[in-house]
Amino acid sequence: MSRVPQVIVVDPDRERAADVVKLLESIGIEVPSSCGYGVEAFTLAMSMEPDLVLMRVEEPLVRPIQTLTRLHDGMPDVPVVVFSTQANLRLMRQALVSGASDYLQEPLKPEEVEETIFTVLERKEREQMRRRGELEEPAPQGTIITVFGAKGGIGKTTVASNLAIALAREAHQSVALVDMDTRFGDVAITMDIPVERSIADLARNLDNVDRETLRDYLVTHESGVDILPAPTRPSDWRNLNAGHIRDVVDVLAQTHDFVILDTPGTFNEIVAAAIEVGSMILLVTTLDMASIKDTVLALEMLQERFGDDEERIKVVLNRSGIDTGVREDDVEATLDTKLWWRIPNDDEVVKAAQLGRPIVMGRPDSKASVALLDMACALAGVTRKKPARRSGFSLSMLLRPFTFMRKTA
């Protein structure tokens, strides 16, 4: 049964402690007591057995860190969150090494304190449940990226397919690309692959699918990306619901580092499910007024659902640099959000699409490719190796005669 967490505050300054207690009470957290460092903190924590300790840590660190270590040794299952007016790395590191579960910087903000306390408590609870064998063994989980946009024709499929290839080829990740376009399903055409089985077939047979048989439903593109195409008949989507989408994506995420979901320019139950499962949502927009207006609404919807989570929701401007009379900083101002990535407008994209060879493969040096390859590397957390510049002359050529020398007797 859920109940209000009990937190004790450790702060040697009574006045400041009273303010922290007030803040905690304002967010509905019970604070049975507060106390100073040392024996007082240890004795109180042992007798009250709180759910969490919120403790101030300031320089000089000896006393607070000693108290933290003692609390952690004595009650390893009670998380301690520390807070400080200082934000230096040494202090944070000392606190974490001594057993702190998280670190907050003053001035404390009620929402941040609430979020931190509940996240830490949930993590502890999961840990304890796992120890007691009440949770299933954790399965590996890849990152799910939902490429979404409020409008048709703004480059969602271009971004999804090229990003998938870039992650596979440039960042050496295993990648699944799922076509969730419930109307036209362009991924197969863009990637020039045959469609024998689709997401609808996989969803239907999911109970009988394991890691090996999963491969029968995927088409491996020459780039290494495993593609799960959309059904060739749009009516096949009718038999799929949000549960199917969750299950299919889940099984792919257990076997791939990244699962990329391409969505249509409309909103329906399938798209809602694709957004719901996304670890990250790339909201694609372009510089025209209609797209920006729809993106404002889409962003509002996403923020209503997930909160203002900048890590989860990233806006990608496609066809940047195109002259529509709308400036990029106006877009940021209208959306009240920074553009996370910009993909330049590039005629090579259209040419590459017509040839059925995505641009990051066909023209990896083009400006759109460079942006897409850089984006993939940023997502995978790797540094992109810039292609070596080709030139007729290099210093190493001059030095070559001296690089390998015969051993002389």
The three-state DSSP-derived secondary structure of 326-371 is CCHHHHHHHHCCCEEEEEECCHHHHHHHHCCCCHHHHCCCCHHHHH
CA nearest to 6, candidates 52, 72, 46: 52
155 binds ligand ATP (CB under 6 A): yes
Q: Which residues bind Mg ion (CB under 5 A)?
A: 156-157, 186
Left (φ > 0), alpha (ψ -120 to 50) or beta: where does 165 sit? alpha
Three-point CA angle 287, 291, 296, nearest 5°: 105
Kindly give the pairing relationship between strand 52-56 and strand 7-10: parallel
> What single letter denotes the amino acid at residue 317?
L
- φ/ψ of 41, rounded to 5, equals -65, -45
Asked if 242 and 273 touch (Cβ cutoff 8 Å), the reply is yes
158 binds ligand ATP (CB under 6 A): yes
369 binds ligand ATP (CB under 6 A): no
- What is the Cα–Cα distance from 98 to 313, expressed in whole angstroms? 34
318 binds ligand ATP (CB under 6 A): yes
Which residue in the set 7, 21, 81, 154 belongs to the binding site for ligand ATP (CB under 6 A)? 154
Distances (CA, A) of 117 to 27, 52, 307: 11, 8, 17
Compare residues 157 and 295 and give the one whose CB is closer to Mg ion.
Answer: 157
Q: Which does 99 bind (CB under 5 to 8 A by kind): ligand ATP, Mg ion, none?
A: none
In whole angstroms, the minimum distance from the beta carbon of 264 to Mg ion comes to 6
In whole angstroms, the minimum distance from the beta carbon of 153 to Mg ion comes to 8
Which residue in the set 264, 274, 287, 369 belongs to the binding site for ligand ATP (CB under 6 A)? 264
Three-point CA angle 202, 206, 210, nearest 5°: 100
- Region from 152-160, 195-203, 247-255, 394-402 binding ligand ATP, contact rule CB under 6 A: 152-160
Which residue in the set 346, 360, 370, 375 belongs to the binding site for ligand ATP (CB under 6 A)? 346
282 binds ligand ATP (CB under 6 A): no
Which residue in the set 11, 186, 226, 257 belongs to the binding site for ligand ATP (CB under 6 A)? 186
Compare residues 64 and 155 and give the one whose CB is closer to ligand ATP.
Answer: 155
In whole angstroms, the minimum distance from the beta carbon of 406 to ligand ATP comes to 54
Please report the beta strands in 78-215, taking only residues with DSSP state E, as ranges in sequence order.
80-84, 100-105, 143-149, 175-179
- φ/ψ of 84, rounded to 5, equals -155, 155
Distance between terminal CA atoms of the chain?
84
- Region from 2-10, 15-23, 290-298, 347-355 binding ligand ATP, contact rule CB under 6 A: 347-355
CA 385 to chain centroid, in Å, comes to 23
Compare residues 294 and 332 and give the one whose CB is closer to Mg ion.
Answer: 294
In whole angstroms, the minimum distance from the beta carbon of 125 to ligand ATP comes to 42
- What is the Cα–Cα distance from 32 to 34, expressed in whole angstroms? 7
Which residue in the set 71, 78, 82, 156 belongs to the binding site for ligand ATP (CB under 6 A)? 156
Residue 118, number of CB atoms within 10 A of its CB: 14
343 binds ligand ATP (CB under 6 A): yes
Which residue in the set 353, 370, 373, 380 belongs to the binding site for ligand ATP (CB under 6 A)? 353
Compare residues 154 and 302 and give the one whose CB is closer to ligand ATP.
Answer: 154
In whole angstroms, the minimum distance from the beta carbon of 263 to Mg ion comes to 8
As given in the structure block, the two tokens for residue 395 are 């210093």
41 binds ligand ATP (CB under 6 A): no
In three-state secondary structure terms, 107 is coil
185 binds ligand ATP (CB under 6 A): no
Compare residues 219 and 370 and give the one whose CB is closer to ligand ATP.
Answer: 370
Compare residues 156 and 169 and give the one whose CB is closer to ligand ATP.
Answer: 156
Q: Which does 318 bind (CB under 5 to 8 A by kind): ligand ATP, Mg ion, none?
A: ligand ATP
Q: Give me the residues that bind ligand ATP (CB under 6 A), please.
A: 149, 152-158, 181, 186, 264-265, 318-319, 343, 345-346, 349-350, 353, 368
